[in-house]
Structure 1
Amino acid sequence: MRFLFEDVSFPQTSEVNNVFLQEAENSLRKAFLLADSALADDCSVSSSSGTTALTALIFGRLLMVANAGDCRAVLCRKGEAIDMSQDHRPIYPSERRRVEELGGYIDDGYLNGVLSVSRALGDWDMKFPRGSPSPLIAEPEFRQVVLTEDDEFLIIGCDGIWDVMTSQHAVSLVRRSLRRHDDPAQCARDLVMEALRLNTFDNLTVIVICLSSVDHREQSPPSQRKLRCCSLSAEALCSLRRLLEGSASN
């Protein structure tokens, strides 16, 4: 977060246009790459340690997702699952081509026979020296969508969820749960329990972000429908910077 919001190029205007989108993407990309380099410089972190990363930012009605690795963001639009990211696995054709063009290879679905993802932060023992093209990269991919009144919630989860569940399965489960108790935190726990029931073998981290009330939207006429989301003003960004600077000094 600090790398992102301390970037002097991070857009300050509230007007979402092509220039804004390009600046936002550039700031996000830079934040991913700076975090990757920081892991290489941190002597307390093993060079064989790494992490995937996914961010979702809302600017007014625009949702922008940046992803490096096999976490996934899924938007629920009127009950339909819309993938807002692609899992970066070595076996996917586009990632396989990129890996092989840069001197890497795929063995039994693993990058260089070791790693199950083709993009990640850290894992510097898998990367070529800084400045050299490498099969394993921290460069994020972007997807964006203009939110509508039909958009209900966003699920962000790591691979332990998606190894045993389709995006639609997860969306349907959360939708049913929200109708019962309207509690996104409980929905996240429900997803974890469902993944365990389906015998997942990997990490389980999931966040559910409600964009509007499912019950309210289904019961209200179109003229009364409202999208519940927020974005950061310039003043809020300054406050966040001060907060981050204070935590860094402590």
Structure 2
Amino acid sequence: MDAGVGKPPRHHLTSIRHCASSARIAAAAAASSPDYGLDLGTLSLISPTDVRTGFLPVFRSGSCAEIGPKSYMEDEHVCVDNLIEHLGGRAAGIPAPGAFYGVFDGHGGTDAACFVRKNLLKFIVEDMHFPTNVEKAIRGAFLKADHALADSHFLDNSSGTTALTALIFGRRYTVFDGYLNGQLAVARALGDWHMKGPKGSISPLSAEPELQEIVLSEEDEFLIIGCDGLWDVMTSQCAVSIVRKELMQHNNPEKCSGELVQEALKRDSCDNLTVVVICFSSNPPPQIEIPRSRVRRSISLEGLHLLKGALDSNA
């Protein structure tokens, strides 16, 4: 699974491949900075600089999921545009705005992907390190979900899932990715205990996620999270270009997700298809105007006299 980040076109298109990252806290550096009036260790993410620039993202999302050419659907996804509202009484101490998104690419059945979709956010919020240390909370939640799949008598613990998830607070977002190798051609996965062996044993499969942290700027327009069914047939640059063009026309992230899925089907994707598009503004991307190059024209004094003579002779 990959994620692409949309920015205005430049000489190259910026994208994040293979794992994206949510807004976690650059805890040590930021907490020690005198520019912050509040301790970043408590996830107080709005700094005086943020206030001066006046930029805070507004989250809007849309998703599309299709079974594709397969005979069964194993993907799951989640979109939470307003984390405070979603968590209700459990949202104490969490800064706004906040959001949570994920795509879970299941294999060996639907049990693992469905379980992780329903429980991963809950495990993050319930972790003892949340919200003071979001990175530890995320890692703990992944391992808790993995062990819950192994211990459950009601779920098929031979099923597994990869996960690409974004947790956003204010301008900072953390994308965490679990993805495995070996038989499954991936690097990290939840579940798949028939391949991992007993807990604590050495295994080619790991449930511990890779994390990336990014600070959003006004140039960051949207984020694309998708499963392999999309990225096997499309580059990040292609997906970003399609979404930006569609947003400029109708400003609807759900339609953009559907457009990416349909384009992947046209390109003969052979897997389930799930795409989530997250916009960071209520406005569509601005029209990019490329200034025309100004070509200087000059004429020599001799040429000027010749031209003047020609004009005079025609007068």
TM-score tier, shorter chain, comes to 0.5 to 0.7
CA positional deviation for 1:216: 5.9
Q: How does 1:54-203 map to 2 (within 5 A)?
A: 54-69=164-179, 90=181, 111=182, 114-203=183-272
Distance 1:180 1:30, change over 3 A: same
Q: What residue identity is the alignment partner of 2:184?
A: L
Please tell me whether the aligned partners of residues 142 and 208 of structure 2 are also in contact (alpha carbons under 8 angstroms).
Answer: yes
Equivalent residue for 1:51?
Answer: 161
CA positional deviation for 1:202: 1.0
Give the Cα separation in 1 of the matches to 2:244 and 2:144: 37
Counterpart pick for 1:4 among 114, 120, 124 = 124
CA positional deviation for 1:156: 0.8
CA offsets, 1:134-160, max 9 Å, x none?
111111001111100000001111111
CA RMSD of aligned residues (A): 1.6
Q: What residue identity is the alignment partner of 1:7?
A: D
TM-score (normalised: structure 1) = 0.64
Counterpart pick for 1:26 among 127, 130, 136 = 136
Q: What residue identity is the alignment partner of 1:47?
A: N
Please tell me whether the aligned partners of residues 119 and 138 of structure 1 are also in contact (alpha carbons under 8 angstroms).
Answer: yes
Please tell me whether the aligned partners of residues 68 and 120 of structure 1 are also in contact (alpha carbons under 8 angstroms).
Answer: yes
SS of residue in 1 equivalent to 2:234: coil
Give structure 1 stretches of 5+ with no counterpart: 12-19, 70-87, 91-110, 220-250
SS of residue in 1 equivalent to 2:177: strand
CA positional deviation for 1:172: 0.5
SS of residue in 1 equivalent to 2:221: strand
Please tell me whether the aligned partners of residues 152 and 214 of structure 1 are also in contact (alpha carbons under 8 angstroms).
Answer: no
Please tell me whether the aligned partners of residues 247 and 285 of structure 2 are also in contact (alpha carbons under 8 angstroms).
Answer: no
CA positional deviation for 1:128: 2.5
Give the Cα separation in 1 of the matches to 2:172 and 2:122: 22
Equivalent residue for 1:246?
Answer: none
Give the Cα separation in 1 of the matches to 2:285 and 2:190: 40
Give the Cα separation in 2 of the matches to 1:31 and 1:126: 21
Please tell me whether the aligned partners of residues 152 and 213 of structure 1 are also in contact (alpha carbons under 8 angstroms).
Answer: no
2:157 aligned with 1:37, yes or no? no
SS of residue in 1 equivalent to 2:148: helix
TM-score (normalised: structure 2) = 0.51
CA positional deviation for 1:45: 2.1
Please tell me whether the aligned partners of residues 64 and 142 of structure 1 are also in contact (alpha carbons under 8 angstroms).
Answer: yes
Q: Which of the two has higher C-alpha Rg? A: 2
Please tell me whether the aligned partners of residues 248 and 285 of structure 2 are also in contact (alpha carbons under 8 angstroms).
Answer: no
CA positional deviation for 1:60: 1.4
Give the Cα separation in 2 of the matches to 1:44 and 1:187: 37
Please tell me whether the aligned partners of residues 244 and 285 of structure 2 are also in contact (alpha carbons under 8 angstroms).
Answer: no
Please tell me whether the aligned partners of residues 51 and 121 of structure 1 are also in contact (alpha carbons under 8 angstroms).
Answer: yes
Equivalent residue for 2:106?
Answer: none
Give structure 2 stretches of 5+ with no counterpart: 1-120, 289-315
Q: What residue identity is the alignment partner of 1:6?
A: E
Identity of aligned pairs, percent?
57
Q: What residue identity is the alignment partner of 1:148?
A: S
CA offsets, 1:67-100, max 9 Å, x none?
001xxxxxxxxxxxxxxxxxx5x4xxxxxxxxxx
Give the Cα separation in 2 of the matches to 1:166 and 1:216: 20
